[in-house]
Amino acid sequence: MKRILLFFSFLLVYVGVDSQTVNQQLKTASKMQESMPDSCILISQKVLTKISDTDIKDKGYAYWNLAQSYLYKHQYHTALFYALKGNELFAKSDTSRLYQDIQATIGWIYFDIGNYQYAVPYHQKALEIAQLRANLSEEVLYTNALGLNALSSNHYQRALGFFQKALFILNSSEEQNRSLLSTVQNNMGIIYIHYEDWVKAETFLHQSLENSSGVASGLLETYSLLSRVYLNTLDYEKCKAYLDKAENVSYKTSYSFSLIEYYKVRYEYERVIGNLKSAYRYQNKYIQLYKKINNRNVQGVMNYLIEVQDEKIKQDKLLIEQAQKIALNRQILVFVGITLAIIVIGILYYVFKSKAERSLLRQKLLKQELDEKEELQAELSSKLAYKNEAIETLALTMSKRNELVKKVAEDVSKSSSADVKKAWRKFEQAFNQYSDSSILSDKFIKDFKYRVQSQFPDLTNKELQLLVDIRNDLTSKELAEKYHVEVKSIEMSRYRLRKKLHLEKGVQLKDFIMKL
């Protein structure tokens, strides 16, 4: 039990330490977003592998770090990818600071790539969360952001509305946030410059300077804007004074939006003054920076994103169309298949039916034929049987006649009459001649041979003759006499015949032959 407790407490401590380090690492990374974006990316990505899917907070934090770092590196695709990934983690009703930051980051990404319309809903959401969290300075920050979106979309009136609202919020709060105030006042100055309302522009820009926190980029912008006001109101002395101030701070910042504004006013001023050499120099600087900012790369990102989105929509449409087509095709296919199957079955049914009918008919016919044949055969066999009987009877009569002849011969031999003996010899000769010839009719023999041959096709003529002889009731002795051979060789012939007729033991050859 103690061991288990120990194990669990150890586990708890381990988990605690681990999660703490993840969070700490993320915090450390977040501080490097702008200054060392690569390190921030490295740490965040490393940490990301340690975070489980369920730990939404840390995961979101890591994604936000990545998005911000890539934003500072001007790699907008990647920044947007991570920011949107972070965004997905949270419920729309989330009110955490992190969710707010992610919303704002997405807004700034869209803003930086020039798609101000897309930035609006995200800045709006960030503003809403800031309001719910009752964080006044963030509320002002995002109201100002919305103003910048409108300003960049050339919706000056709407932009002015947002800046005025930002001022209203700042003024109605007790806490002072002078640097924010300065920023908003500077932006009001931009609007009034656009409206060519020089008095209001001058007022707000001076107020902005009064509240400035002294950050070079902000100062440069305000100085430049002020000199633009004086340039337009033809107050060249003041214009020059602010341009000189701008020149001094211009070396302390690389913020391109401020610099470009400065170069532009400067070159216009120098041109008006007639200092063409200097004008040319600043115009050059302006053009170079303009190209850098408005390079196709950055502009292209937006187009690319839109293209990608359009492409995706197109593809989705295509997929849907294809799916619909496939579904339709499948339906057609199924329909065609079913139709075909029905047709095939129909044909088959018809074919089989007629075939069956025909075979039935043929069978009937065959049977009829068979019956007729059987009838014929029966008739034939009964005829045969009758003839056989007749023959047998004849044979019997003949053997009795032979015995009678023998008896007569014995009697004749006992008689001494030469005439009788002579007459007897003549009779015996005639009789023998007659008995040599077969007692079976030629027709019977022909039929018999035909039948036997068709049953046993490999019988030789000699063997056939033997068969006929046996059928003719000739004994082996008689056969030996007839053919002038030994009885033994007749016996051999009988044996071979038995074999050829495939007779089993115990079956009399004569009986078998008689049944053939």
Partner 1 sequence: MKKLILGYVITILFVSCQEQVQQNKGVDRYDYPDVLNLKGTITVPQQYGVSSFSDLGTWHSFSLNQEAENGQLGNFAGPYLMRQQQSFWLSPSILGLQIKDVVNNEILNLSEAENIANVFYPGLLKQSFELNDLQVELYLFNVNERSTVITADVTNKGSNQEVQLGWNGSVFGKLNASMQISGNALQIDINENESAQLLFNGNNIQKADTTYAYIDEELQLKSGERTTITAVFSYTFNETERAQYTNANQVFIKDVKPAYTANEERWNKYIKTLFQGSGAGLLDVNKYDKLAVKSLLTLMHNWRSAAGDIYHQGIVPSYATPYFQGLWAWDSWKHAVAIAPFEGQLAKDHIRAMYDYQNEEGMIADCFFRDLDIEGVNWRNTKAPLSGWCIYEVYEQTKDIEFLKELYPKLLKYHEWWYINRDHDQNGLCEYGSTDGTRIAAAWESGMDNAVRFDEAVIIENSKGAYSINQESVDLNAYLVQEKLYIQKIAELLNDKAVAGKYANDAEVLKAQIQNVMYSEEDGFFYDVELKSQDKIRIQGPEGWAPLYNNVATQDQAKEVVKVIMDASRFNTPMPFPTLSAAHEKFNPQKGYWRGPVWLDQAYFGIVGMNNYGFEAEARQMAQKMVESAKGMAYTQEPIRENYHPLSKEGLNAFHFSWSAAHIIMLF
441 token code pair: 């009719």
Identity of the residue, 160 or 249, whose beta carbon is nearer to partner 1 in the bound complex: 160
Identity of the residue, 288 or 294, whose beta carbon is nearer to partner 1 in the bound complex: 294
DSSP SS3 for 507: coil
147 token code pair: 């103003």
CB contact at 8 A, 286 and 260: yes
467/465 Cα distance (integer angstroms) = 5
CB of 296 to partner 1, least distance (A): 20
Q: Provide the binding-site residues for partner 1, judged by CB under 8 A.
A: 117, 124, 127-128, 131-132, 134, 139, 143, 153-155, 157-158, 160-161, 164-165, 168, 172, 194-197
CB of 177 to partner 1, least distance (A): 16
CB of 306 to partner 1, least distance (A): 11
Identity of the residue, 29 or 127, whose beta carbon is nearer to partner 1 in the bound complex: 127
CB contact at 8 A, 29 and 48: no
Q: Which helix (DSSP H) or strand (DSSP E) does residue 443 occupy?
A: helix 442-455
Identity of the residue, 233 or 253, whose beta carbon is nearer to partner 1 in the bound complex: 233
CB of 132 to partner 1, least distance (A): 6
297/306 Cα distance (integer angstroms) = 14
Alpha helices in 212-295, H assignment, sequence order: 216-232, 236-250, 256-273, 276-293
CB of 315 to partner 1, least distance (A): 20
CA nearest 340: which of 332, 350, 328, 351? 332
CB of 301 to partner 1, least distance (A): 18
269/239 Cα distance (integer angstroms) = 8
CB contact at 8 A, 167 and 203: no
**If you write DSSP's letter for every residue of 475-490 in order, what string do you get?**
-HHHHHHHHT--HHHH
267 token code pair: 């070159």
CB of 157 to partner 1, least distance (A): 5
Identity of the residue, 85 or 200, whose beta carbon is nearer to partner 1 in the bound complex: 200
175 token code pair: 């806490």
CB of 269 to partner 1, least distance (A): 20
Identity of the residue, 53 or 174, whose beta carbon is nearer to partner 1 in the bound complex: 174
Distances from the Cα of 235 to the Cα of 20, 198, 223, 272, 278, angstroms? 60, 12, 14, 12, 19
CB of 174 to partner 1, least distance (A): 10
CB of 165 to partner 1, least distance (A): 5
Identity of the residue, 154 or 432, whose beta carbon is nearer to partner 1 in the bound complex: 154
367/507 Cα distance (integer angstroms) = 35
Identity of the residue, 68 or 186, whose beta carbon is nearer to partner 1 in the bound complex: 186
CB contact at 8 A, 102 and 80: no
Identity of the residue, 28 or 124, whose beta carbon is nearer to partner 1 in the bound complex: 124
311 token code pair: 């492409």
Residues 6 or more apart in contact with residue 58 via CB below 8 angstroms:
19, 22, 23, 26, 47, 51
Identity of the residue, 4 or 234, whose beta carbon is nearer to partner 1 in the bound complex: 234
Identity of the residue, 23 or 131, whose beta carbon is nearer to partner 1 in the bound complex: 131
CB of 194 to partner 1, least distance (A): 7
Proportion of the chain in helix, strand, coil states, percent, rounded to 5? 85, 0, 15
399/395 Cα distance (integer angstroms) = 6
Residues 6 or more apart in contact with residue 123 via CB below 8 angstroms:
103, 104, 107, 142, 145, 146, 149
